[in-house]
Amino acid sequence: MVKPKRINIGYFLLYLLIQYSFGIDDTHTWTSIGFEKDLPHSLSFEFEQELRTKEQLSKFSQIFSDVSLSYKVIDGLNISIPFRYAVFD
């Protein structure tokens, strides 16, 4: 006979208390969008824009713009030239 598992209500409440006691003061987000375009001669171009917010999503913390040009040498080996422009609060 298999005994059903009992959930101890004290452990469950402690878990909920720990989960909701951190991070109440501020909410942060980190969003990004990007695209990739294959070019002739095994080249590819990538662009990605990232935005990080703080203080209940009302102010930006950091903005990143990533541009990359890569060349596929063989399967599994790419040579890449990245560039990142960052703006900090």
State pLDDT tens for residues 24-77.
567 778 888 999 999 998 899 999 999 888 877 778 888 999 999 999 998 889
Q: What is the CA radius of gyration of the chain?
A: 23
3-class DSSP state of 36? strand
Give the per-residue pLDDT at 22: 60
**Which of the 8 DSSP states describes residue 23?**
S
Model confidence at 5, in pLDDT bands (50, 70, 90)? low
Which two structure tokens, joined as six digits, stand for 77?
């080996």
* pLDDT at residue 89, rounded to an integer: 75
* pLDDT at site 40: 92
Residue 70: per-residue pLDDT: 94
